[in-house]
Amino acid sequence: MDLIKKVAGYLTSSRDVVALTGAGISVESGIPPFRGKGGVWERFDPMEYASIQAFEKDPAKVWRVLLSELKKVVDRAEPNNAHKGLAKLEKIGILKTIITQNVDGLHQKAGNTDVIEFHGNFAWHRCMNCDHRTDTQSLMLDQIPPTCDCGGIFRPECVFFGEMIPPEAMWRSRHVASNCDIMLVVGTSANVEPAAYMPVLAKKSGAKIIEINTETTPLTGHISDHILLGRAGEIMDILITEVKNLSQLEPAID
Ligand code: OAD
């Protein structure tokens, strides 16, 4: 509790806060994480189902096993208190930008306006033949893989293993990480590069790094200054209450 108060104090006296988020922030919205207990990669080998080579070799297999399940889960997911908390922090002028590794669009749905989608998004699909785009909710799965009127196969606009990070996401992330004074690192195992490098870059540039996670990560104790251990939604609720108390902005924050 004392640590949460201390972090709330850092936030209210900061000038530029950035958040880096990962799958853990969406767990309380019903989206499973990738690693650890119940994680997607416990059931599927990422190289067999989430690499661009696997998709190009057998798109029907990747659609049947991984993407159709992801679509079902993402189509019905709603932001939880952790997403909503970050939206409140933006609304009161504390949080500037979110760099997210997630493709579920829940930060935007919660109300954040500056979200860098480091691994692309699952909100849109693109025909691999003619580049026609369609929003994922309207994509029909009566035929697997789903195809465009031109006969081409639809792929999500997210980054498969073996693909480049979208260049704009990369340079903007580096820029905001190098210029923030606090980075909140929420629900990421910090195992996947280059996203995991962003807290390192922020630290090198003088920022404080605060993790929120149910367990420690490779950043803990080396790169991060503090870790708030617990479920992101629950921690964020308490943190927002403390920020409210300190900034006495109750009407604006609700
Ligand atoms: P991971 O699945 O690797 O890590 C999820 C993290 O969230 C872990 O550190 C958990 O301890 C933590 N966690 C779980 N539940 C939580 C909760 N309720 N509150 C807070 N923390 C919680 O997910 P990422 O780090 O996002 O890439 O994975 C990075 C990338 O690896 C993904 O973007 C994806 C994946 O392979 C691609 O698909 C390219």
CATH number for 70 = 3.30.1600.10
- Same domain, residue pair 201 and 102: yes
Per-residue pLDDT reduced to its tens digit, 15-29 = 899 999 999 999 999
- Same domain, residue pair 115 and 181: yes
CATH of residue 178's domain is 3.40.50.1220
Tokens describing residue 182: 């606090």
- Same domain, residue pair 154 and 39: yes
Domain boundary among 132, 158, 184: 158
Q: How far apart are CA 155 and CA 130, in angstroms?
A: 12
Show the DSSP H helices in the chain as ranges.
2-12, 40-43, 46-49, 52-57, 59-62, 68-76, 81-91, 106-110, 167-179, 197-204, 232-247, 250-253
Q: 207 by DSSP, 3-state: which?
A: coil
- Same domain, residue pair 219 and 204: yes
Domain boundary among 108, 136, 158: 158
- Same domain, residue pair 65 and 86: no
Q: pLDDT at residue 250 above 70?
A: no
Residue (of 242, 254, 224, 231) closest to 20 by Cα position: 224
Q: How confident is the model at residue 6 (pLDDT cuts 50, 70, 90)?
A: very high
Per-residue pLDDT reduced to its tens digit, 140-176 = 899 999 999 999 999 999 999 999 999 999 999 999 9
| Pocket of ligand 1, beta carbon within 6 A | 22-24, 27-28, 33-36, 39, 46, 50, 101, 119, 159, 161, 187-189, 191-192, 213-215, 217, 231-232
3-state SS track over 77-117: CCCCHHHHHHHHHHHCCCEEEEEECCCCCHHHHHCCCCEEE
Entry pTM? 0.95
Handedness of CA 200, 184, 104, 174 (dihedral sign): negative
- Same domain, residue pair 83 and 203: yes
Write the DSSP assignment of 213-238 as a string of letters: ESS--TTBTTTBSEEEES-HHHHHHH
pLDDT of residue 28: 97
Residue 250 Cα to ligand 1 middle (Å): 32
Which residues are identified as catalytic? 119
- Same domain, residue pair 40 and 111: no
Q: How far apart are CA 251 and CA 248, in angstroms?
A: 9
Phi, psi of 168 (to 5 degrees): -65, -40
The residues near 43 (Cβ < 8 Å, ≥ 6 apart) are none
> Ligand 1: which of 25, 34, 102, 227 to mutate, judged by most atoms within 8 Å of the beta carbon?
34
- Same domain, residue pair 147 and 128: yes
Per-residue pLDDT reduced to its tens digit, 180-219 = 999 999 999 999 999 999 999 999 999 999 999 999 999 9
- Same domain, residue pair 38 and 151: yes
The residues near 152 (Cβ < 8 Å, ≥ 6 apart) are 127, 128, 129, 130, 132
Per-residue pLDDT reduced to its tens digit, 55-102 = 999 999 999 999 999 999 999 999 999 999 999 999 999 999 999 999
Per-residue pLDDT reduced to its tens digit, 213-228 = 999 999 999 999 999 9
- Same domain, residue pair 134 and 95: no
Number of domains present in the structure of the chain: 2
Mean pLDDT (whole number) for 235-240: 98
Residue 183 Cα to ligand 1 middle (Å): 17
- Same domain, residue pair 64 and 84: no
Residue 73 sits at the vertex; the CA angle it makes with 77 and 170, to the nearest 5 degrees, is 80
pLDDT of residue 10: 97
Q: pLDDT at residue 249 above 70?
A: no
Q: How confident is the model at residue 38 (pLDDT cuts 50, 70, 90)?
A: confident
Mean pLDDT (whole number) for 94-123: 97
In contact, 203 and 197? CB cutoff 8 Å = no
> Ligand 1: which of 47, 213, 227, 228 to mutate, judged by most atoms within 8 Å of the beta carbon?
213
Q: By residue range, what is the domain housing residue 178?
A: 1-30+78-119+165-254
In contact, 62 and 223? CB cutoff 8 Å = no
Please identify which residue in the block is written with the tokens 């908390």.
85
- Same domain, residue pair 6 and 68: no
pLDDT of residue 20: 98
In contact, 44 and 66? CB cutoff 8 Å = yes
Please identify which residue in the block is written with the tokens 């509790």.
1
Residue 129 Cα to ligand 1 middle (Å): 32
Residue 59 sits at the vertex; the CA angle it makes with 56 and 60, to the nearest 5 degrees, is 160
pLDDT of residue 252: 53
